Structure 1
Amino acid sequence: MLLNAIAGAPRRTLALMSAVCVAMLAFGMYLQHVVGLEPCPMCIVQRYALIGVAVCAGLASARAQKGWWMSWGVLALGLAGFGAFTAARQSWLQWFPPEVATCGRDFYGMIENYSLSRAIPMIFRGSGDCTAIDWTFLGGSIANWSFLWFTLFGLVLLVLLLRRGQV
């Protein structure tokens, strides 16, 4: 029944997914600018992945042509998988922090001062900031909740692409 509701109206489902992504981004901005939490490099990467999912899902919902929304849906699925991977890596760092935790450079500082081939591994290496759990909800950190949402988005996109792609 739930699968039929998801696959029955792909454009509405994609528009809702885009709206949820925008709400999550707004909440992240609230945590940063009102509560005062500083995002770590992995949080920033997850934020970019969330922006990508929102944009791709929004564009997918804009037109009824099957090829159009399926193409954007595939891109959104890839970005959701990338976001889930990054959030899972951060959750793992939070559960099993490295013995030597150092505060790393911020994301923009890394990109501005290092070549891309050197900055990307630095981003995913994780710093002391990425292991800190500054906010929790129902026992889960921001990275845990981010992983759950990216996984949910990925599953919904997979259902849409597999069930509606056959029609």
Structure 2
Amino acid sequence: MARLSVRQWSLAGLAFCVLMMVVALGLEHIVGLEPCPLCIFQRVAVISAGVVFALAAIHNPAGRLGAALYGVLGLAAVGGGIGVVSRHLWLQSLPADEVPSCGPGLDYMLDILPLQEVVNMVLSGSGECAEIDFLFLGITLPGWTLVGFIVLALAPLGMLLSAFRER
């Protein structure tokens, strides 16, 4: 697998990002599950990784520097998603009496607060992010999202392997 080109790794990562977003949007619009603020941040991480993969596929750098740069950027986007989903899973694991109270909606916060304060409030968590609305095979949606991010991390790691393999 390490013999795949940067473009091939990028297209695989982009395809997986599209799959993750199709599932998320399907759960929202078909099943009727409303995303909490942390779910929305996880979607931002998936989209960010997808943008990096799309740019890498279009550019298809021939040198090690370009491949390494796209690999690091992709890994940063995926790592950010893993961080957010880990926070989400931690909130869901709290006992009911330790769950933070529900705050204002994300749309409202974005309208009245600076972006950095919104990010701090969302990452500190709210009661709605601790709710478990859906289980599949005994795993919550953030648990499946973590699995998705771990699989998605293979693409930027593959790009890094492509950058540093012998030419």
- TM-score tier by shorter-chain length is 0.7 to 0.9
Q: How many residues align?
A: 163
- Correspondence for 2:135: 136
**Which deviates the most, 132-141 or 149-158?**
149-158
- Segments of 5+ residues of structure 2 without an aligned counterpart are none
Deviation at 1:42, TM superposition (A): 0.4
SS class of match (1:8): coil
% identical equivalent positions:
34
Per the normalisation by structure 2, the TM-score is 0.86
1:110 maps to what in 2? 109
For 1:62, the equivalent position in structure 2 comes to 58
Counterpart CA distance in 1 for 2:121 and 2:152 is 27
Q: Quote the Cα distance in structure 1 between the aligned partners of 2:36 and 2:95.
A: 15
Unaligned runs of 5+ in 1: none
Listed as ranges, the matches of 1:41-120 within 5 Å are 41-65=37-61, 66=63, 67-97=65-95, 99=97, 100-120=99-119
Give the residue type in structure 1 aligned to 2:93.
W
Give the conservation status (yes or no) of the 8 Å contact 2:38–2:85: yes
Residue aligned with 1:37, SS: coil
Q: Secondary structure, in 3 states, of the residue corresponding to 1:103?
A: coil
Secondary structure class of the residue paired with 2:153: helix
Distance in 2, matches of 1:151 and 1:40, equals 21
Q: CA deviation at 1:136?
A: 1.7
Report how far residue 6 of structure 1 moved.
4.1
